[in-house]
Copies of this chain bind each other. A is one copy, B any other.
Amino acid sequence: MYKRNGAQTVFFDESPYIRAFGSTAGSKEAEGPYGRFFDATTSDVYWGESSWEKAENKFVKEAIKTALKKARLAPEDIDYIFAGDLLNQCTGTSYGLRDFYIPYVGLFGACSTMGLSMKMAAMMIDGGFAEKCCAVTSSHFCSAERQFRFPLEYGGQRPPSAQWTVTGSACVILDKHEGSVRVEAATTGKIIDKNIKDANNMGAAMAPAAVDTLLAHFRDTGRKPSYYDAIFTGDLGRVGKSIVVDLMAREGYDMEIGYFDCGDLIFSESQDVHAGGSGCACSGLMLCAHILPKMQEKELKRVLFMPTGALMSPTAVQQGESIPGVAHALSLYIE
């Protein structure tokens, strides 16, 4: 429980269970290598709504509904919902959650939100404050592009280091008593800023934060990367992933084998997404479509899941600021 001497990792006394999970995704994600594993997909970027932002709300709402249905639970069975997203004022979340009327803890962790929300949910359950919690996040390519970069109509060119914001939402239900995969431990990240200023190179901005949390996790637990059957970072993409491998090697940790990045996996090379996927939904969707199913099939039994976030503000970048990053790690296992 209580972490001593500056440790950032807590072990859960009664590892909370992942009881159910639901995912919704857009057409590009549906056409990718994991497309058939999402619970619901749509070929309409608006999903029948009048704006991309309202579509994102619907992705959230449907992901939550799906997870609740799979868990055979009603909204009133959930003690807390932990959620956040990339949009200003986290509107994907605020409007997506509005109809469920569940006690709400709003989070801001950018693309680390899937990790942050699951970590807080696990702490809340293990701390004795809850039995059932939802962890939710979302992103949408169109709403993110116009908020963070250029109007889509402008047709801006994207450099090779750019990533493609994933469209979709993921909801994971954690339960004190029931489920399959369990959360064993969590490492909370710090804000790390290595002076990266390129809004088209989020992988490089996040990689130092990923390394910082990985080092803290291995230091706190005395483990090596090989302890885990697989390690998944969130959305570093191909550029950020290779930086992590390099920086970890310098620190004496071999990440060449068994290390994957959700942003590197979610689209195929032929989908022309440059350095890979990004966005809050990237790690959320890969968790629901790949990591958790593979754990349930016991192909993977011990996994370190570490979503990464670039705390990138267009206003701050315009004012010459660099881009801070953060990463939160969860140790998952199945018996």
Contacts and interface: CB of A to CB of B under 8 A. Distances in A.
Contacts of A316: 53, 89, 91, 95
A159 interface: no
A89 B97 CA distance: 19
Given A91-B311, A127-B123, A188-B104, A319 B110 contact: no
Nearest to A9: B103
Nearest to A216: B103
Nearest to A97: B191
A95 B316 CA distance: 9
Given A53-B316, A95-B316, A190-B104, A3 B90 contact: no
Copies assembled: 2
Contacts of A54: 319, 321
Contacts of A105: 107, 116, 120, 188
A127 to B, nearest CB: 2
Contacts of A307: none
B2 A129 contact: yes
A191 B130 contact: no
Q: Most chain-B CB neighbours within 10 Å: which of A53, A110, A127?
A: A127
Contact of A311 (B53, B89, B103): B89
Contact of A188 (B51, B80, B128): B80
Interface string A183-202: 00000111101000000000
B91 A315 contact: yes
Interface residues of A, number: 60
Interface string A88-120: 111101110110011111111110000010001
Nearest to A326: B104
A257 interface: no
Interface in A48-86: 50-51, 53-54, 76, 79-80, 84
A324 B106 contact: no
A152 interface: no
A312 interface: yes
A104 B79 CA distance: 23
Contacts of A123: 123-124, 127, 129
